[in-house]
Every structure is written in C-alpha cells, then in structure tokens.
Amino acid sequence: MKEFKFRNKMAVPKIVKVVVSMGIVADKGKQEAIEQAQKALALITGQKPQVCAARKSISTFSLRVGDPIGLKVTLRGERRDSFLGKLLNVVLPQVRDFRGLSLKGFDNGGNYTLGLKENTVFPEIEYDKIDRSRGLEVTIVTSATDIEKAKRLMTLLGAPFEKNNS
C-alpha cells in the first residue's frame, strides 16, 4: 500500500484467477488423443477441463464449426494458489535453459501470460503414460491496472523475472 500510495486496502492488486489452456487442433478427429490431453490437464490443475469448440469454419485448416480446438481450466481460490505455488517453485526451475520469465508476457491490463512447450515438466505427468508431449499456456489474471503494479505483485509472489530485461 505504501509503495504505490494506495489509500484503500481493496485497491491493492490481487490475483483474480489463473487460466490454463491447451490447444488440441493437432489431435482433430482422434478422440483417444483428446481424452489423453484432457486427463493430462486434469492431473496438472486438479480440475476437469472445458472443451473449447471452433466458432468459425476455416477451410484452409479443414476446420468446421463445433470441432474441438482447445481445452481450458479456470482456477480460483485454493486451487489457484496451490497451482501458482507449484508453477513458480517446482515447475519453472525444472524447465531446461530457463533464465527467468520474460517481461513481454504482460498485457496493458496487468495480466501475465506464459507458455510452456511441454507438459512433462509438471510432476503429475508420467512420461511413460502419455502419447505425446503437449504445450500449454498459463494466464495469470490480476486486478492490477497497469504493468508496473502487476510486475510488483508477481515479484512478491516469487515469480523469477529475467535480470537483463527491464
């Protein structure tokens, strides 16, 4: 509160939710592969994922309206906190060639998005039991109004940002 001169404690930025999403367009038409991806995302987040369908038909990608193209999970409360703790303290340090989170992941609304190329960095995923490694995206939605406040909030939570980037 003192750092940003907030007069009301309700104005202090908080993490509202965490959205974890995974694209499954490559598995189009393969119901078993889609179910594998759902199981993996459910293991990672502790919550059943929602299937996102295509809203438009795109002939160049042979995509029709209603085809499953992604999975997403919205985490709030205790699940959000435990997932963030696991992400920042266990998963990110295990990522190969990890030099810190990029500051380019912030949007103007104070939210942060990061992508992981493999879901196998999560301890719940057993490499032998999955058909293939899939990437996923994590969006941390905050109540911060700008990038500076959101960055400070994430730093206080223990997010390891790159040192050479300002």
**CA-CA distance, 50 to 115, in Å (whole number)?**
19
Q: Is the pLDDT of residue 62 over 60?
A: yes
Q: How many domains does the chain have?
A: 1
What's the whole-model pTM score? Answer: 0.81
Query: For residues 123 and 70, which has the higher predicted lDDT (pLDDT)?
Result: 70
pLDDT band at 148 (very low <50, low <70, confident <90, very high): confident
Mean pLDDT, range 69-79, rounded to an integer: 89
How far apart are alpha carbons 2 and 129 in whole angstroms?
50
Average pLDDT, the chain: 82
Residues belonging to the chain: 166
Q: Is residue 81 part of a domain?
A: yes
The domain in which residue 132 lies consists of 9-157
**CATH number of the domain that 40 lies in?**
3.30.1440.10
Among the listed residues 102, 37, 101, the one whose alpha carbon sits nearest the alpha carbon of residue 71: 37
Looking at per-residue confidence, does 30 or 56 come out higher? Answer: 56
Q: Is 97 helix (H, G, I), strand (E, B) or coil?
A: coil
Q: What's the rounded mean pLDDT across residues 124-143?
A: 80
